[in-house]
Amino acid sequence: MFKFLTLLLVLVISSASAGRIVDYLLNMPIKNGCFEEHRKVLECVEPHEPFINLLELNLQQSSVYNIGLMRKVLQVSKNVSECIGEDLQCDSSKLVTFALNAGGYVGDKIYGDAFHCFINAQVPEIMENCTTDDLDPSELYNTTLIDETKDKYFECIAQQLYKVPSCKIGRIVDLYKAGHAAVDSYFDGVRFIDRADPAGLNLDELKYCDI
Ligand SMILES: *[C@@H]1O[C@H](CO)[C@@H](O)[C@H](O)[C@H]1NC(C)=O
Ligand SMILES: *[C@@H]1O[C@H](CO)[C@@H](O)[C@H](O)[C@H]1NC(C)=O
Ligand SMILES: *[C@@H]1O[C@H](CO)[C@@H](O)[C@H](O)[C@H]1NC(C)=O
């Protein structure tokens, strides 16, 4: 399970910004009454298109270690999200802002003080080493199983981080929050796409305060 998490950082962050959103929006069937909202989202993305195109051409797995680039991505994501605003009515725009906000939360945690630990410990490699089998679609709604797997996964990662001197406890906590938010958002997003249930599409940052 969680094999997908190897590329999770690139995915969360790039799906929060790069051409995926544009592609997604352009290919999305526009529901009745959603034309205006759809147009608004595209208008908010448009000024950033040169940067997004550049990113699409140059983004590699190693880009997660490029803090300057990633902070720029986060800034663009925030700008787009602020431009779109709240009170959305349509599923496609809800999913876009959810991805932007989740990516923003995760990115802010990683590309802050915790980055010292992230880069020295090579967290994406640790994630890969802690990965087991992929999740069966039928297990997507078994929260017991998902919670168990999540705990094991994060425990495995934490064990590796404790060995790295720059991974002071505060930094590990930040990465832990980022990881939980990323995994939860991933499942919320997948369930949303699977069952079109927008109930889960609310990033509750407070949930991660006491971790
Ligand atoms: C984000 O928006 C702010 C305020 O509108 C602007 O000054 C800044 O240049 C924008 N950043 C990016 C990366 O577009
Ligand atoms: C991942 O596992 C491989 C093989 O066991 C090991 O050589 C490598 O150092 C590990 N990487 C990290 C970052 O722990
Ligand atoms: C959910 O996963 C748990 C733990 O693996 C398992 O014991 C349980 O039978 C599963 N529940 C369902 C409804 O499949």
Q: Given a cut of 80, is residue 68 above it in pLDDT?
A: yes
Burial degree of 4 (CB within 10 A; 0-12, 13-18, 19+): middle
Burial degree of 140 (CB within 10 A; 0-12, 13-18, 19+): middle
Q: Which domain holds residue 185?
A: 4-208
Domain count along the chain = 1
Q: Which ligand is nearest to the CA of 129?
A: 2
CA distance 157 to 46: 38
Which residue of 133, 139, 144, 147 sits with most ligand 3 atoms within 8 Å of its CB, as the best mutation to test the pocket?
144
User: Is the CB of 84 within 6 Å of ligand 1?
Assistant: no
CA distance 156 to 138: 25
> Given the structure tokens 């993305």, which residue do they identify?
45
Q: Given a cut of 80, is residue 46 above it in pLDDT?
A: yes
At 17-42, the pLDDT tens digits run 445 555 666 666 667 778 888 889 88
Q: Tokens standing for 58?
A: 């140059």
What predicted TM-score, i.e. pTM, was given to this entire model? 0.83
Distance 117 CA to ligand 1 centre (A): 28
Burial degree of 156 (CB within 10 A; 0-12, 13-18, 19+): middle
Angle between helices 91-110 and 169-195 (to 10 degrees): 170
Q: Which ligand is nearest to the CA of 77?
A: 1
Instruction: Please list, in sequence order, all residues whose beta carbon lies within 8 angstroms of the beta carbon of residue 82, skipping any fewer than 6 positions away.
Output: none
Q: For the chain, what percent of residues have pLDDT higher than 90? A: 29
At 87-113, the pLDDT tens digits run 888 887 888 888 888 889 999 999 999
Distance 6 CA to ligand 1 centre (A): 31
Q: Which atom of ligand 3 is nearest to the CA of 145?
A: 2
- Burial profile 14-51: b = 16 or more Cβ within 10 angstroms, e = fewer: bbbbbbbbbeebeebeeeeebeebbebbeebbeebeee
At 164-205, the pLDDT tens digits run 999 999 999 999 999 888 888 888 877 777 777 666 677 676
Distance 77 CA to ligand 1 centre (A): 10
